[in-house]
Structure 1
Amino acid sequence: MRSLIVLYDEDCGICSAAARLLERHSAALRVAPIGSELGSHALRDLDREE
């Protein structure tokens, strides 16, 4: 089963707070900073223009 990955800007306070909230309330989500290894892996097939 594939899980939903939510990527966020770790330098943004609102984004980080929302990510923590999502992590606490949904075990079905994977939450990671966009610049993390998981973020890079999730975005590997996208063109930078996208």
Structure 2
Amino acid sequence: MEREPNLVISSASQHVVEDGVPFKVDIYKLEGGDGWSLEVVTEDVMSIV
């Protein structure tokens, strides 16, 4: 069975509060991959990639 690749989380990922609205910005890529992905997660766990 092939193992799943690890996620590499960027140190630029952070929690942000804008106009009183908290959200999380995650920047990540697959280990060994070239491209980064940016994901915004709201406090009610809505994810926008």
**Interval containing the TM-score (normalised by the shorter chain):** under 0.3
**Which one has the bigger strand percentage?**
2
Higher relative contact order (CA 8 A, sep 6+): 1
Larger Rg over CA atoms: 2
TM superposition score normalised by structure 1: 0.21
**Which one has the bigger helix percentage?**
1
TM superposition score normalised by structure 2: 0.21
